[in-house]
Structure 1
Protein backbone atom coordinates (compact mmCIF):
# COMPACT_ATOMS: atom_id res chain seq x y z
CA UNK A 1 0.00 0.00 0.00
CA UNK A 2 2.80 2.41 0.89
CA UNK A 3 4.57 1.71 -2.41
CA UNK A 4 1.42 2.44 -4.44
CA UNK A 5 0.86 5.70 -2.58
CA UNK A 6 4.47 6.77 -3.10
CA UNK A 7 4.30 6.01 -6.83
CA UNK A 8 1.02 7.90 -7.14
CA UNK A 9 2.51 10.96 -5.43
CA UNK A 10 5.59 10.86 -7.67
CA UNK A 11 3.39 10.59 -10.76
CA UNK A 12 1.26 13.56 -9.68
CA UNK A 13 4.32 15.67 -8.91
CA UNK A 14 6.05 14.89 -12.22
CA UNK A 15 2.99 15.08 -14.51
CA UNK A 16 3.06 18.86 -15.12
CA UNK A 17 6.79 18.82 -15.86
CA UNK A 18 6.45 15.95 -18.29
CA UNK A 19 3.55 17.65 -20.05
CA UNK A 20 5.62 20.80 -20.60
CA UNK A 21 8.60 18.78 -21.82
CA UNK A 22 6.53 17.17 -24.58
CA UNK A 23 8.22 17.78 -27.96
CA UNK A 24 4.84 18.47 -29.60
CA UNK A 25 4.13 21.30 -27.13
CA UNK A 26 5.12 24.61 -28.69
CA UNK A 27 4.02 26.82 -25.79
CA UNK A 28 1.36 28.61 -27.83
CA UNK A 29 -2.16 29.01 -26.56
CA UNK A 30 -5.31 29.72 -28.46
CA UNK A 31 -6.52 33.29 -28.01
CA UNK A 32 -10.00 34.62 -28.49
CA UNK A 33 -11.24 38.18 -28.48
CA UNK A 34 -14.39 39.72 -27.08
CA UNK A 35 -17.41 40.16 -29.33
CA UNK A 36 -16.87 42.99 -31.79
CA UNK A 37 -13.10 42.58 -31.75
CA UNK A 38 -10.69 40.54 -33.83
CA UNK A 39 -7.13 39.34 -33.37
CA UNK A 40 -4.46 41.42 -35.06
CA UNK A 41 -1.89 38.83 -36.18
CA UNK A 42 0.95 41.35 -36.36
CA UNK A 43 0.63 42.68 -32.81
CA UNK A 44 -1.08 39.68 -31.22
CA UNK A 45 -3.71 41.90 -29.61
CA UNK A 46 -7.46 42.31 -29.97
CA UNK A 47 -8.58 45.32 -31.98
CA UNK A 48 -12.09 46.65 -32.68
CA UNK A 49 -13.61 45.05 -35.76
CA UNK A 50 -14.31 47.54 -38.53
CA UNK A 51 -17.28 47.06 -40.82
CA UNK A 52 -17.49 48.38 -44.35
Structure 2
Protein backbone atom coordinates (compact mmCIF):
# COMPACT_ATOMS: atom_id res chain seq x y z
CA UNK A 1 0.00 0.00 0.00
CA UNK A 2 2.75 2.46 0.93
CA UNK A 3 4.67 1.51 -2.20
CA UNK A 4 1.63 2.26 -4.40
CA UNK A 5 1.22 5.60 -2.67
CA UNK A 6 4.82 6.57 -3.42
CA UNK A 7 4.39 5.58 -7.06
CA UNK A 8 1.31 7.75 -7.50
CA UNK A 9 3.05 10.66 -5.74
CA UNK A 10 5.99 10.36 -8.14
CA UNK A 11 3.58 10.24 -11.07
CA UNK A 12 1.81 13.39 -9.87
CA UNK A 13 5.11 15.15 -9.28
CA UNK A 14 6.36 14.40 -12.78
CA UNK A 15 2.99 15.45 -14.21
CA UNK A 16 3.29 18.81 -12.44
CA UNK A 17 6.85 19.23 -13.67
CA UNK A 18 5.70 18.63 -17.26
CA UNK A 19 2.79 21.07 -16.83
CA UNK A 20 5.12 23.72 -15.39
CA UNK A 21 7.52 23.23 -18.29
CA UNK A 22 4.71 23.53 -20.84
CA UNK A 23 3.49 26.73 -19.18
CA UNK A 24 6.99 28.21 -19.43
CA UNK A 25 7.20 27.23 -23.11
CA UNK A 26 3.77 28.73 -23.75
CA UNK A 27 4.79 31.98 -22.01
CA UNK A 28 7.98 32.15 -24.09
CA UNK A 29 6.01 31.57 -27.30
CA UNK A 30 3.57 34.35 -26.41
CA UNK A 31 6.46 36.73 -25.70
CA UNK A 32 8.13 35.69 -28.97
CA UNK A 33 4.93 36.31 -30.96
CA UNK A 34 4.54 39.69 -29.27
CA UNK A 35 8.09 40.69 -30.22
CA UNK A 36 7.63 39.45 -33.78
CA UNK A 37 4.42 41.48 -34.05
CA UNK A 38 6.20 44.58 -32.79
CA UNK A 39 9.03 44.04 -35.27
CA UNK A 40 6.52 43.56 -38.09
CA UNK A 41 4.68 46.78 -37.18
CA UNK A 42 7.94 48.73 -36.93
CA UNK A 43 9.06 47.30 -40.27
CA UNK A 44 5.76 48.28 -41.91
CA UNK A 45 6.11 51.81 -40.53
CA UNK A 46 9.67 52.01 -41.85
CA UNK A 47 8.49 50.90 -45.33
CA UNK A 48 5.69 53.49 -45.28
CA UNK A 49 8.10 56.24 -44.16
CA UNK A 50 10.48 55.18 -46.92
CA UNK A 51 7.70 55.41 -49.53
CA UNK A 52 6.60 58.81 -48.21
CA UNK A 53 10.18 60.02 -48.47
CA UNK A 54 10.49 58.78 -52.07
CA UNK A 55 7.16 60.37 -53.04
CA UNK A 56 8.16 63.68 -51.46
CA UNK A 57 11.49 63.62 -53.29
CA UNK A 58 9.74 63.51 -56.67
Counting strand residues as a fraction of each chain, which structure ranks higher? 1
Query: TM tier, shorter chain?
Result: 0.3 to 0.5
TM-score norm. by structure 1 comes to 0.36
Pick the structure with greater CA Rg: 2
Per the normalisation by structure 2, the TM-score is: 0.33
Of structures 1 and 2, the one scoring higher in RCO (CA 8 A, sep 6+) is: 1
Higher helix residue share: 2
